[in-house]
Amino acid sequence: MSRLWLTGARLVDPEGGEHEGSLAIEEGRIVELRREARPDPALLRSSPVLDLEGAYLLPGLVDPHVHLRDFEEAGKETVASGTRAAAHGGYTTVCAMANSRPPLDGVEALAAFQAKVAESAVVRVHPLAAVTRGREGRELTEMGRLREAGAVAFSDDGSPVADAAVLRRALLYAAQLGAVIVAHEEEPALSAGEPLAAGETAFAMGFLGQPASAETAMVARDLALLAETGGRLHLAHLSTAGAVAAVRAAKAAGLAVTAEVTPHHLLLTEAACAGFRSEAKVNPPLRGQADLEALWAGLVDGTLDAIATDHAPHTAAEKARGFAHAPFGIAGLEAAFPLLYTYGVLAGRIDLATLVERMSAGPARLFGLEPPALRPGAPADLFVYDPRPELPVDPEAWLSRGRNTPFAGWRVRGEVLLTLVEGQVAYAAPRLALPELLRTGEAPVR
Amino acid sequence: MATWVETRSGVGRHFLGVRGLEREALAAVLGRAAQLKRAWLEGEPLPQALAGRTVATLFFEPSTRTRNSFLQAAQLLGGLTLTVEAESSSVRKGETLEDTVRTLEAVGVEVMVLRHPESGAALRAAAAASRLAVLNAGDGMHEHPSQALLDVMTLAEHFGGARRSGELDLDVLRGLRLLILGDIAHSRVARSDIWALTTLGARLWVSGPATLLGWLPEEVRRVERPEEVLGQVDAVMALRLQRERMADGLVPSEREFRQRWGMTADRVRLLPAHAVVLHPAPVNRNVELDDSVMDSDRSLVFQQARNGVAVRMALLERAVEGEDAR
Ligand SMILES: [Zn+2]
């Protein structure tokens, strides 16, 4: 019997709110939880104790939208590096998009990906599979077989399903299987490959920019299709006030729609691209201040169910190809929680419990995953966050191979000290003195 | 980690754009351009600032006019010139812009005049250069800063010439009323002109098909038809209408464009007697400007071309003598 006590922390649990507490872990599960920082010493006598004085103990974060690359793009990221990055960010579960090279559009490709996960992942990884073969937007994948093989949802993300008839069929078919379609909301004829949003910054840099309708028109189309077909639709990385309003109305009308937002769309406007800063080049593009405010409002009131990093690692060489030719994307896993804690919670935009809900239980529910919880009986998927140090965001210290971020140098409060997945150490800060029981090294997660 | 920092583009040896340049910086280049122009036209010896130095023109888009203007300016200052054919060079074989800059630098080129279809390309080239100076001769829809300078010079000469001879008087541009006509959204000339002229205090209107306007800065007022302001402007800047805009479905036809936004003889009659017409050239005759307007004494199109050489002499001179302020 090896029971480990984590004591002295502030616990934020989705059901009980925020309080002083301590908990015991055994065999990968939480076995006891106390609403007191220092339980009776008699209780701790024969157990190793990790005292977390002054830190938060939080349920593990869940990212519904990451790009783990690997295979032909191992130079950008691998399952090994991406999941270590996730653990470093406080994540215990990530959902991997199907737009790898080759794409996850068949059971063989899915199995190859799952083999990578089994051999090298340190957090839980749930793959999505493509909606269409080759993500070409024409023929549906074998969704039934893919779902049985472990795909948690279906998405051609990276690109939209441009043909409305194809998405309509996908929704009908997925509805029958009880599967979720995840939509990348972009009307390509309107976005037209433009590298940033239309507006002042685009004008200054000599681009036409993507109009907001590139997103809102597609959202309107897809909600109309959903109303007709039934099933479940999840809208990825929304960026416009118009899309938030459309989702709010659709939910009020009873449609089974959910939506997510990224940290960068919550914290940056198109102005971050000024001066041809390709680190801020992302799709959908960063928008204006009114959009940013609408996203926060939608996040707080629950119109937006989840925060997703849309972690999109790229090499420095690719991002240096000039703004017009650099790939879209921001590597987000390792800065997301510190940024949102600092510029969300401490800035008074959202309370900590709501932020944690939108980054943990909220995203888990999208695809029917078990929400991480600080509750006896639940798997010990949790992380420890010390809110005291003030640090710059430092991509050089990241575990991801992608260091492409517009947040480098931003001051954040706090750092992830420890991430446990099923009671095993997925990440531990070097300064943390771990008890013997936890010093088992990294263990792959099944 | 690569970061594309916006440079104070006109201050150092590079000249990448006019946005963000202060009045003094514009005045310094334009004042020098006016001196060089006077010497040139009066047959005085020009300073041989480029003697023994090599200027390369690297044009990824065809523009004989702008290229020749730079070459002429370089030769007047005693420079050696090198015309790099982007079409046939290693550039086409996958060499990056950065590699090309370093190669030109390695063979001793000191100034590179770059025309490129990508917005931001001039900044990329400047970031890759360690000694060579980059002069932006048009990058995508971003900037065409030497064009803006020659436009400013032409307007300042025209409206200041009567009051004072010799030195260029940029104060005459304060309150000057100018209408920019046509394709603003896709035009680097429009962008550079808007920034330079608003910095110097001009009042700007734009008019054109809504499909060619897009986002506009606050300082610029949009009118649906040129007739709304033609009676009160001092100058009209007609922009070139690219034929691709028809193919892209942004303009129904040249005929319709001319009818609603062209500087036709009828529209010119609405202008005050002192008002002038400019165009960055080449002109689509009888589209943006009617023949009769192009050839009238209201047209400053040929003065613009001459001032282009003067402005480019000033830019080349500062490229080899200017401090690196980055
Ligand atoms: Zn996407």
Per-residue pLDDT, averaged over B288-302, amounts to: 95
What span, in angstroms and rounded, lies between the C-alpha atoms of B262 and B181? 8
pLDDT at A67 over 50: yes
C-beta separation of B214 from B184 below 8 A: yes
Confidence category of residue B92, pLDDT binned at 50, 70, 90: low
Q: What is the pLDDT of residue B322?
A: 64
Q: What is the pLDDT of residue A41?
A: 86
Tokens of B44: 């005085």
Q: What is the pLDDT of residue B95?
A: 80
Element (H, E) at A405: none
H helices present in A96-254, as ranges: 107-120, 143-148, 164-177, 188-191, 200-205, 213-229, 241-252
Q: Quick one: which of A92, A62, A77 has its CA closest to A399?
A: A77
Cross-chain residue pair A205–B191, CB shorter than 8 Å: no
The predicted complex's ipTM stands at 0.92
Q: Where are the beta strands (DSSP E) in A97-216?
A: 124-127, 154-155, 180-183
Confidence category of residue A446, pLDDT binned at 50, 70, 90: very low
Q: Does the annotation count A310 as an active-site position? A: yes
User: Tokens 């971003």 label which residue?
Assistant: B142
Tokens of A377: 């009986």
What span, in angstroms and rounded, lies between the C-alpha atoms of A416 and A428? 8
Residues of A in contact with B140 (CB under 8 A): 206-207, 324
What are the tens digits of pLDDT across the range B142-180? 999 999 999 999 999 999 975 555 679 999 999 999 999
pLDDT at A433 over 90: no
Tell me the torsion sign for CA atoms A235, A200, B4, B124. positive
Q: CB count, 10 Å around CB of A344?
A: 24
Q: CB count, 10 Å around CB of B98?
A: 16
pLDDT at B87 over 80: no
C-beta separation of A352 from A385 below 8 A: no
Tokens of B193: 């002109």
Residues of B in contact with A213 (CB under 8 A): none
**Residue A328 burial (10 A CB sphere; 0-12, 13-18, 19+):** middle
How many interchain CB pairs under 8 A, A with B?
A: 72
Tokens of B29: 């280049």
Cross-chain residue pair B188–A324, CB shorter than 8 Å: no
Q: What is the pLDDT of residue B89?
A: 59
C-beta separation of A77 from A313 below 8 A: yes
Q: CB count, 10 Å around CB of A103?
A: 21
Q: Quick one: which of B35, B16, B99 has its CA closest to B319?
A: B16
Percentage of the residues of chain A whose pLDDT score is greater than 70: 98
- Interface residues from chain B to A (CB-CB < 8 Å): 1-6, 19, 96-97, 118-121, 123-124, 139-143, 185-186, 188, 191, 214-217
What span, in angstroms and rounded, lies between the C-alpha atoms of B77 and B72? 9
DSSP class of residue B167? S
Q: Chain B residue with minimal CA distance to A203? A: B215
Query: Least CB-CB distance to B191: which of A206, A403, A408?
Result: A206
Alpha carbon of residue A425 to chain centroid: 20
Query: Least CB-CB distance to A207: which of B5, B121, B141?
Result: B141
What are the tens digits of pLDDT across the range A138-179? 999 999 999 999 999 999 999 999 999 999 999 999 999 999
What span, in angstroms and rounded, lies between the C-alpha atoms of A417 and A415? 6
Q: What is the pLDDT of residue B6?
A: 40
pLDDT at A441 over 70: no
Residue A382 β-bridge partners: A59, A420
